[in-house]
Amino acid sequence: MYSLFFVKMMTILDSLAATATAVAFESLSLVFDLCSLPLYAVIYQPWKLWTYKPIMYSKPLEGAPEWGPLVKTNYEIDPELFSGCTTIDQLMRKVFVRFQHTKGFGTRQQFGEEFETQPDGKVFKKKILGEYDWMTYGEFEKKVEFVSRALMSLGIRPRQNICILAETRVEWMLTAQACFRNNIPVVTLYPSLGKEGLIHGLNEAEVTHLITSQDLLPKIISVLLQVPSLTTIVYMESAYDKAPPPTAPKEIRLIPFSQMEQIGATADPELKGEKPTADDHAIIMYTSGSTGIPKAVIITHGNVVSVAKGFQIALVPLVPNDTYIAYLPLAHIFEISVELTCIAKGMKIGYSSPLTITDKSTAMPLGGKGDATLLRPHLMCAVPLVLDRIRKNVLENASRKGALFRRFLEFAISYKLRWTKWGFNTPLLNRVVFSKTRAVIGGRMKVICAGSAPLSADTHAFIKVCIDCPIIQGYGLTESTAGATLMELSDRSVGRVGPPIYGGYIKLIDWPQAHYHVTDKPYPRGEILVAGNTVAVGYYKNDALTREVFVEENGLRWLYTGDVGEVHPDGTIKIIDRKKDLVKLQFGEYVSLGKVEAELKTCALVENICVYGSSFHTYLVALVLPNELALSQIADQLGKTSRLVAELCNDSDIVQAATELVIAHAKKCHLQKVETPIKVKKKAPIRESTDRKRKDNVK
């Protein structure tokens, strides 16, 4: 009891000292501002920003209302890059000639692995990696040609589906390019997909040839009896594991990917595919299946080229030889579209993984260099969950150094936000405070592109300041080839997703059940509809759903997204809700679960969260996967001795303290009372229960 009282008193005193120091920081900064303002005014010339005429990023079609259809304005497109290109194959052939001597594709060789026991008893596998080895565009194109011939030699024919089921790696893109060249549609499935979804996708697409990785072979072989059409499996060998692959039934051809070039080199040169057209199917992309059996979207060559044009306009600062770090799943259209855009610009793509990005990533040994440290990329794509974790890690590291340092960091962030808003920069803070954060991802970042889920405004602003790099947020669906809207670099706002991309249209329609109307003030609000060259053909073998979601109207084919947005006066879109996320509580209040989850994910305690509500109750509940460091800090404050996450999650005192922390964070995020979960259940990671078994197996 006395120790707990002592801990609380020390916390209070530490907080008071930090507050006093923060006041001192403010006073010193005021003196510094008065002295440096004349010099900074000459350097940054902020009046140029003040006198800028507001940019109109999109405008309604002639005669249309302010809620659309909207089309993009204020853009420049590279006339040479896309001239005469209507298919992926045409665009890539042009690029391979233009940049044939330029380094284009980089991978790291794995030399070994080691096992590292953590203080809590967990055992992590660490990878011993070398430097990046690079292929030029010309070398890559030669491999593409051989693999395309090998595929034909193995019996695959134009317009016959082939499936790629593998993690993000250079062989994935190489195989896809070979398929695009031969007019072979690529069926994509997530490596994490369960057996039921895997069987469904392979059977529905009538796949005869599968390209996968050696690590996934056991899963594939276990379902072969339920996929009668499959005859050939080509597997990408493991980088380090030299163990032989598992045995497949004798009627299945099992071919290592390393033999594909040799097969292609000796294949009949007359055995060629056919050139695709803009309307030919390029990709049949299955969803992750989180809401049931996965459904597939048909994406054409024309769709992909159109989205590459749109992305290229927003990524103007990136030039040939700039580097992109590729780690998101290539089974997602967002990653494919960005990589193809980077290839079109002659950039270098360094292949990475979520476990090896930084020096501190879970698969990197002590003293090892992460992929970003070696690549020093200029472009990175990130989902909001990754950016939320970066933010939490920065704040956790600051907290470890004490309340004083944490308060100083918060002051530095608010100070920089204030001055950058007025057209200045903060070079001293950038060098002293933010340079270390920027160095975590290489120190050369020009643009971070965020997508796939809503990014909270707080995280958007925080990362933009700490990394000293603009974040452009986009909005799209698989059904729109990842491209519906994308921010411009000149847009300094946060929490918005930009105007329609080049070649696209956006409009809103009423959703009266939730009281969203296009006549709302100050901004029109409603369900977002997307049309244009990026809108996909429809759903694979699902005409009923295609007719429901894709609707012809006045010469345009509109995609009903199910997302709710508002149109701002400068022609940009803000996502404010999702129809499927809306729940009606017992007293008739509508609550957006997605909005609540997006805000609460920024809480230090929350690693991930699921919020639930129903019409049988008046309140929301939350299932929280806790951040283990934050949970341990709560345990310390309450005098708890256990360090097992499962025990802490079931401790009533900790549950109460955690609930209060989540509720306080909800208030800080300005969530309404009805949007605040009043019951919080913490869930320990599943891995904890198996850590001891894994440790014994390693020994």
How does pLDDT run across 493-550, given as a tens digit for each residue?
Answer: 888 999 999 999 999 999 998 889 999 999 999 999 999 999 999 999 999 999 999 9
Q: Whole-angstrom Cα distance, residue 67 to residue 62?
A: 12
Q: Whole-angstrom Cα distance, residue 467 to residue 489?
A: 15
Confidence of residue 468 (pLDDT cuts 50, 70, 90): confident
Q: At what angle do helices 652-668 and 628-637 cross, to 10 degrees?
A: 120
The pLDDT of 63-83, averaged and rounded, is 87
Whether pLDDT at 24 is above 70: no
Q: Please, are residues 500 and 476 in contact by the beta-carbon 8 Å criterion?
A: no
Whether pLDDT at 349 is above 90: yes
The pLDDT of 139-160, averaged and rounded, is 96
Question: What are the b/e assignments for 80-96, b being 16+ CB within 10 Å?
Answer: ebbeebbbbbbbbbbbb
What's the token pair of residue 437? Answer: 């954060």
Nearest to 533 by CA among 689, 319, 305: 305
Please give the share of the chain, as a percent, with pLDDT higher than 70.
88
Could you tell me how far CA 208 lies from the centroid of its own chain? Answer: 31
Report which DSSP code applies to 686: G
Q: Please, are residues 640 and 648 in contact by the beta-carbon 8 Å criterion?
A: yes
Alpha-helical regions (H) of 401-510 = 403-421, 427-429, 435-439, 457-466
| pLDDT of res. 32 | 61
Q: Please, are residues 57 and 571 in contact by the beta-carbon 8 Å criterion?
A: yes
The pLDDT of 419-442, averaged and rounded, is 84
Domain covering 86-351 in this structure, CATH number: 3.40.50.980
Q: Please, are residues 557 and 550 in contact by the beta-carbon 8 Å criterion?
A: yes
Q: What is the pLDDT of residues 357-373, one digit of tens each?
A: 989 888 999 889 999 99
Q: Whole-angstrom Cα distance, residue 569 to residue 697?
A: 61
| pLDDT of res. 401 | 78
Phi-psi region of 515 (alpha: psi -120 to 50; beta: other; left: phi over 0): left
Q: Whole-angstrom Cα distance, residue 440 to residue 22?
A: 26
Q: Whole-angstrom Cα distance, residue 308 to residue 316?
A: 12
Whether pLDDT at 72 is above 90: yes
Q: Please, are residues 442 and 55 in contact by the beta-carbon 8 Å criterion?
A: no
Task: List residues bridging with 626 in a β-sheet.
Answer: 606
| pLDDT of res. 699 | 30
What's the token pair of residue 223? Answer: 């379902």
Report which DSSP code applies to 128: E
Q: Is the fold of 86-351 the same as that of 585-692?
A: no
Q: What is the pLDDT of residues 562-574, one digit of tens each?
A: 999 999 999 999 9
Average pLDDT, the chain: 86
Listing DSSP states for 3-50 in one string gives HHHHHHHHHHHHHHHHHHHHHHHHHHHHHHHHHHHHHHHHHH-THHHH
The pLDDT of 335-344, averaged and rounded, is 96
φ, ψ dihedrals at 38, nearest 5°:
-60, -45
Residue with tokens 């009896």: 225
Q: Can you give the pTM of this predicted structure? A: 0.85
Alpha-helical regions (H) of 316-449 = 333-344, 371-375, 384-400, 403-421, 427-429, 435-439
Q: Please, are residues 453 and 475 in contact by the beta-carbon 8 Å criterion?
A: no
Confidence of residue 633 (pLDDT cuts 50, 70, 90): confident
Q: Looking at this protein, which amino acid is placed at residue 104?
A: G
Whether pLDDT at 182 is above 90: yes
Q: Please, are residues 102 and 126 in contact by the beta-carbon 8 Å criterion?
A: no
| pLDDT of res. 587 | 65
Q: Whole-angstrom Cα distance, residue 173 to residue 1?
A: 61
Confidence of residue 53 (pLDDT cuts 50, 70, 90): low
Give the H/E segment covering residue 663: helix 652-668
Confidence of residue 71 (pLDDT cuts 50, 70, 90): very high
What's the token pair of residue 514? Answer: 């939730």
Q: CA angle at residue 105 from 109 to 478, to 5 degrees? A: 110
Q: Which range, of 324-328, 370-374, 610-614, averages the lowest pLDDT?
A: 610-614
Q: Domain boundaries in the chain?
A: 86-351, 585-692
Task: List residues bridging with 505 in a β-sheet.
Answer: 531
Confidence of residue 669 (pLDDT cuts 50, 70, 90): confident
Q: What is the pLDDT of residues 550-559, one digit of tens each?
A: 999 988 999 9
Q: Please, are residues 382 and 345 in contact by the beta-carbon 8 Å criterion?
A: no
Q: Which fold has domain 585-692?
A: GMP Synthetase; Chain A, domain 3 (3.30.300)
| pLDDT of res. 52 | 59
Q: What is the pLDDT of residues 90-128, one digit of tens each?
A: 999 999 999 999 999 999 999 888 888 776 677 788 999
What's the token pair of residue 118? Answer: 């953590």
Q: What is the pLDDT of residues 31-41, one digit of tens each?
A: 666 666 666 67
